[in-house]
Structure 1
Amino acid sequence: MNRLLNTGLALAALLCAGAAAAAVDYKIVTASEKGTYYAIGKDLARLVAPEAGINLEVLPTSGSAANVKLLRYEPGVKFAVVQADVFQAFVDRSGAGNAEASTLIRPLRVILPLYNTEIHYIVRADSPYNYLHEIKDARINGGLVGSGAALITHTLYRMMFGGPVPEAQASFLSNEEALVKLIGDKSLDVVVVAAGQPAPLIANMKPEAQKFIKLLKFDPSHPSARQPLSTYAPATVRAASYPNLLSEDFTTISVGAFLVTYDYNTRGTVDSMRAFGRALCQNFERLQEQGHPKWREVKLALPELGPGWSYYSPTARELRACTPKKRCSNEERILGLCN
């Protein structure tokens, strides 16, 4: 009996070891650990990747522009969360003949459009600024070089005011460093945080924060908004996202986010990516229920993309054929009606 038991345990151990060995190690590049992109990556690693036989490591980065390069060149990086305007900026520069931009962006492919990322413009509570169109002469921190926040800050400024942010008024600090300077020595006037609401950095602030900071509004009807609205979209920041800071909803500006990969064609990688697409389909409801609130804004539909953008065929086929698992109620389980 003991021999049989030992044999059974040994066999079970071998099977478990074989299953573990079969998993592949991939990485996803996101943004700051306190940002929404990082939370999205953690959700995919926890709720999707294991079913696809993938050990998915979530890497914090400086943001979208850095993610494009990491996806292109960093070993093991198979997924990236990229801001739409960053991706488009590379496409535009590629189309204009920039060889480096072309090398970076041409082999990249979209797995799934995600959600709109709200752009939070933070100022001191006693600031004279209340709207984005009032910050022309402000000292602005757009985030780290390579981040999506930095690109949108400078792109929006140029669109709204007809020129670049003056060098003397621009800084490229992390959000945390910038907020210290905003409130501490007051050497900054505006800190820009690009993160889907609720952005952890802001949501985790205590009620006392109302004494020190406020968020700027975006006025879509203001003349300066005309050009930005050709690329970006208005979005509602909900008081429920930041109950310690807000008493009512207001309008800001937002930009789309995409889950992106490379145009892999080796059999093993294609098989893993196809399995990821199936697992994403089958676990999508779990993502919406157990993941970051932003998952509730995501759809598995694959809308038409603009020129220079393409879907990754192996995952696209899986998602277009997707029939998500129907969740089983307790009553159905008791009656034996669940597969």
Structure 2
Amino acid sequence: MINRRQFLTSTGAVAAVAAMSACASTAPPTIRLAAGETGGFYHAFAQLLAATAARTDTLRIEPVTTAGSLSNLELLTRGEVDTALALADSVVAAAPGPLAIGRVYENYLQLVVRADSPIQRVADLRGTRINLGNIGSGATAIGEKLLRTVDLDPATAVTATHLPLRDAVTALLDHRIDALLWAGGVPTAALDIPATMRLIDLADVTATMRTRFGYLYDPVLVPADAYPHTPAVHTIGVANLLIATPTLTTSTAAALTDLLVAHPDTLIPTEAAGTQFLDVRSLIDTATVPLHPGAAQVYRRWHG
């Protein structure tokens, strides 16, 4: 038998443990989201998504800074993250595997040179030094395809480097490279094209890119003054997908999807207002990548 003091002590401990267990069971799940480089649109979007989730009682999101799409897919495959942002062409190439939560925005291929450069089109890149995106980024794979549209071998026709975006911008302005390629939102904060740089129009290669490499490459327009001093420029767009591992629970995937559908205005960086948007009709356009059952459940509820 135990005395009254022992009984009160033991029941108090049990109550405390029970209370802690109850709190733990009601705490919202936390998912890791593979984002992208600091200063890029992936990173900005992931931070906004995490901040929006923090204001709810359904989900917590931990953004993970990465090199980009290809790195994100590797992390997802290895089970080191639960969700990731990736270019649609990279995801399709990696299938089967990831499931889509939604198409979250459009990536713009941006080929940048110095303002005084003789480079006027992609074919002029022969013999130049070009940064084809950070190692592990989707821009690298797209850049190689872009060069092939004008019959330039990425291994021999150019000298390619793979610097992070901020370093590539510095290298371009310091004349250590002649061009840089970036795939991201418009405008991209870390790019912020000054008067000493300009964008190359890709209208002459867009149709060839689509014919040779598939329907995922869309003709899009970078609006005039999207960056200071820049005229409107035609380029190539690729959808960005928010994807998840198939092991993500239906309820957690649904909570994540609800964030996209219910809070679209909070998830677009201020500088990109007008060029990016979230809408149920565009969110479900995930190419050939199947929707996660939790996401499909939410879209049926919101859109029928």
Question: TM tier, shorter chain?
Answer: 0.7 to 0.9
What residue number does 1:300 align with?
A: 280
The reply to whether residue 61 of structure 1 matches residue 50 of structure 2 is: no
Q: For residue 239 of structure 1, what is the amino acid of its counterpart?
A: A
Cα distance in 2, alignment partners of residues 143 and 202 from structure 1: 13
What RMSD over aligned residues (CA atoms) do the two structures have, in Å? 2.8
More helix by share: 1
What residue number does 1:217 align with?
A: 201
Cα distance in 2, alignment partners of residues 21 and 284 from structure 1: 26
What residue number does 1:253 align with?
A: 236
How do 1:2-151 and structure 2 match up within 5 A? Answer: 18=23, 22-48=27-53, 50-51=55-56, 53-75=58-80, 77-90=81-94, 105-151=95-141
What residue number does 1:315 align with?
A: 295
* TM-score (normalised: structure 1): 0.74
Q: For residue 209 of structure 2, what is the amino acid of its counterpart?
A: P
Report if aligned partners of 1:31, 1:60 keep a CA contact under 8 Å in 2.
yes
Report if aligned partners of 1:236, 1:249 keep a CA contact under 8 Å in 2.
yes
Change (3 A) 1:275 1:187: closer
Q: Provide the identity percentage.
A: 24
Of the three residues 158, 161, 166, the one matched with 1:171 is 161
Q: Secondary structure at the match of 1:236?
A: strand
What residue number does 2:7 align with?
A: none
Change (3 A) 1:271 1:140: same
Cα distance in 2, alignment partners of residues 50 and 19 from structure 1: 18
How do 1:247-286 and structure 2 match up within 5 A? Answer: 248-264=231-247, 269-286=249-266
Cα distance in 1, alignment partners of residues 236 and 123 from structure 2: 12
Deviation of 1:322 (Å): 1.2
Q: Tell me which moved more, 276-285 or 27-36.
A: 276-285
Cα distance in 2, alignment partners of residues 155 and 303 from structure 1: 23
Change (3 A) 1:132 1:113: same
Q: For residue 238 of structure 1, what is the amino acid of its counterpart?
A: P
* TM-score (normalised: structure 2): 0.81
What residue number does 1:193 align with?
A: 182
Report if aligned partners of 1:113, 1:257 keep a CA contact under 8 Å in 2.
yes
Give the gaps of 5 or more residues in structure 2: 1-18
Aligned residues, how many? 279
Q: For residue 249 of structure 1, what is the amino acid of its counterpart?
A: A
Give the gaps of 5 or more residues in structure 1: 1-13, 91-104, 324-339
Report if aligned partners of 2:69, 2:137 keep a CA contact under 8 Å in 1.
yes
Runs of 4+, deviation exceeding 4 Å: 288-292
Of the three residues 148, 151, 159, the one matched with 1:161 is 151
